[in-house]
A and B are shown apart, each in its own frame.
Chain A
Amino acid sequence: MDRHTTGFRIGWYTVNVLIGATMIGPFLWMLLTAVKDAGSVFVFPPELLPRRWEWSNFASVWEAVPFGLFYLNSLFVGIAVTCGQVTTSALAAYAFARLEFPGRDKLFFGYLATMMIPQAVIMIPVFIVLRSLGWIDTYKALILPSIFTAYGTFMLRQFFMSIPRDLEDAARVDGCGPVRILRNVVLPVSKPAIVTLAILTFMATWRSFMWPRIVIHTIEKSTLPIGLQAFQTLHETEYTLLMAGSVMAVIPVIVVFVLGQRAFVKGILLGAVKG
């Protein structure tokens, strides 16, 4: 249906290139600052290209803080939270969607009611409990409280409800119990929803800042965001180094996003389907 005149096309591409440049420009500036030598950034007017390319800035960051460890910590915590959340949510969601047992709907309403409660309300008591257990500054404190959200359960329940019952009924006639039905019938057809929840959970954990900042106090257990922030407090105005650290933090996210773009966009749309 779209028939566009040449004039329209030229205008359309011009506008998009301009907006695109606004979006990409700051990233390029980050990259260019990251490879300048420390003295040459404090000049006015700013120089676009480095006088000499100081690739060693990246090595300096790596030496100042254990950056590799930050990646590993973030990866480990992200995977642990994602696995925990997807598994427990899928089980609970199936129980809420398909199994009948006394008190089911009341319990589900209880889950829903907590979705409105701000994270801030829960943060303080959970911190106090973890502290009394001696779990502060452990991976447990990073992982366990992040696993359980009403959102994951709610989202998967909505998806399971949309699956035609015939499939399950057929399996039931063949003598399958609830465990086998979930594993062999429901989960295989729910792959898009599971992948979506996994991506959203992983991304949220990967970028999470406030909670890790509260429960982690040593640099060795830091995830990427709080590791980078710790690095910032060490090198307050050394923008070449700060930008080098930022480049290293941003690159894996960009790579993963560009590769998994389709699943990601689908995920956003699925995640937005509310009640």
Chain B
Amino acid sequence: MAESIILQERQYRHFRVTPRTPVIGGWIEDFHLGDLNDEAAVDLREALWHYGVLFARKQHLSFDAMKAVAWAFGDQLETHSYAPTMADQGHPEVVIIRKLQSEKAKTTTDIWHHDVTSRKHPNIMSILQADQVPFGADTMWSSMTSAYARLPDALKQLFLNIEIDHDTLYLMLRHDFGDASMSPDKIAALGEAHTHPAVIAHHATGKPCLFVGNGYVKRVHGYTAELSELILKIANEMPKIPELQVRHQWEAGDVAIWDNFATCHYGVSADIGDQLRLLHRVASWSDRVTPTAYRPDGDA
């Protein structure tokens, strides 16, 4: 089946990538993402599919530059259903991730999840840039390509044969998320729900990825709640495996770019006192990219 690939350093035409673990994550070296041209964009795509998540220090990109990176991966920029954005400065595509500990806001990022899996066309990627990042609030990513590869054969068969119902409402119901501006009624009215295969063929590499997550998941399609919960529990154990993970400690100006299909992520909550935590995110998608079921060779 899938052979394991040990990540190595790779030299691209405009930058170099050094691995952070043998399985997931690479540092983009000697490059400012604000200088992205067509050639570098081709290489950046290739690098992202290879490393799953890319990091770069000291970028301090403008919102336009962040959007240019996102455009390299999809033909639509995400407009988020409920998160605050920079729309008042002319950037509705830039999501503000802002948290004051004193606000006691419930976060939904301290679970292993893929972004917006409740949509027919979930994000292909996101680019996240740190503006103010108090010590401790790290972010982690986990390789779902490797998660699938590590499943015992019997469980591969199980996940190859099921679909998952994703629903934004369940992000709130399962994780007690929301406030007055984001009530269950309002989220339900969005009608953001879609069923995707539990194992998808990556749109660019064709590799199988376990695509379940613990964010928007409602139910294993067509299963009773009891059985569904047991199966989801198995899937949700996978991202916790340290061998699949990379952990990033943020510095202001850092950029992370992640493959939203091949990886899931986790925002580590931390006691940051009265310090402001502020990051900005842009994501892209395409109506030509929708999760499709992986079919192993010889199974057709």
- A and B bind: no
Which A residues are closer than 8 A to B by beta carbons?
none
Which B residues are closer than 8 A to A by beta carbons?
none
